[in-house]
Amino acid sequence: MAVDRERILRAAAALLTRKATATTDEVAKAAGISRATLHRQFAGRDALIRALEALGLQQLESALDAARLDEDSASEAVRRLIAEVEPVAGFLAFLVTENQLFETDAMNEGWTRIDDRISALFRRGQESGEFRIDLSPAWLTEALYGLVGSGAWAVQDGRVAAKDFQFMIVELLLGGVRRSVGK
């Protein structure tokens, strides 16, 4: 029976996000498998990290696809984006905090592509007049990563209810981005 690699990677991401120096032994324990099996699935620590990056990027891209960022109003698209990203928040938090570890070209390219798509969404919102224009798309993209990461961490840590994850992020982000009457 093939081991569920994705489940292992999820556990690894969760652990490594809050303790990046965890040993392969600890990762294996966190995933509920032995070090031997972990090593059979991923040939070494590097390979594990790479797989983590690859799966994270892939899932993020899928989330962007599913969110249909260029349909409806930009605000609605942002809502969909957060909703789609929620299940992948653990991976995103890992990618954001650890992405300097291995600067492979493939990694960098995938990350740039995602950045661009999200930036484009914010730019669309600005051009349509929905969003204020004094905050750069690049910053808003970065801020979104930060908020999603914080949200994932707060939920995992029990400081915030999981069901509020989406609401809190969307409200804070959109409320800040949206051009409002009061200054």
Partner DNA sequence: CCCGGATGAGACAAAAATGTCTCATCCGGG
Partner DNA sequence: CCCGGATGAGACATTTTTGTCTCATCCGGG
* Interface ranges with a second copy (CB under 8 A): 18-21, 97-98, 100-101, 132, 134-136, 138-140, 142-143, 145-147, 149-151, 153-154, 159-160, 164, 168, 171-182
Which of 57, 74, 89 has the alpha carbon at shortest distance from 154?
Answer: 89
Can you read off the two tokens belonging to residue 66? 């599913």
> Any residues with CB less than 8 A from the CB of 82 and at least 6 apart, and which?
148, 166, 169, 170, 173
35 binding partner (options a second copy, DNA, none; Cβ < 5 to 8 Å by kind): DNA
Please state the closest distance from residue 57 (CB atom) to a second copy, in A. 18
Which H or E element spans position 58? helix 45-67
Q: What is the Cα–Cα distance from 126 to 56, expressed in whole angstroms?
A: 28
Contact criterion met (CB below 8 Å) for 85 and 146: no
The entry of a second copy, DNA, none that residue 50 binds, CB within 5 to 8 Å by partner kind: none
Applying CB under 7 A, what is the total number of residues that bind DNA? 18
* Partner whose binding site includes residue 98, from a second copy, DNA, none (CB under 5 to 8 Å by kind): a second copy
End-to-end CA distance of the chain: 60
Nearest Cα to Cα of residue 78 among 17, 14, 143: 143
Residue number with CB closer to a second copy (43 or 138): 138
Stretch that binds DNA, among 17-25, 67-75, 77-85, 94-102 (CB under 7 A): 17-25
Residue 41-70 contact track with DNA, rule CB under 7 A, x = bound: --xxxx------------------------
State residue 131 phi and psi, 5-degree precision.
-105, 150
**Cβ nearer to a second copy, comparing 54 with 172:** 172
Dist CA 174 CA 151 (whole Å): 15
Q: Compute the least distance from the CB of residue 115 to a second copy, in Å.
A: 9
Site residues for DNA, window 27-46 (CB under 7 A)?
32-37, 39-40, 43-46
Quick one: tokens of 50? 């790479």
- State the residues that interact with DNA by CB under 7 A: 1-3, 23-25, 32-37, 39-40, 43-46
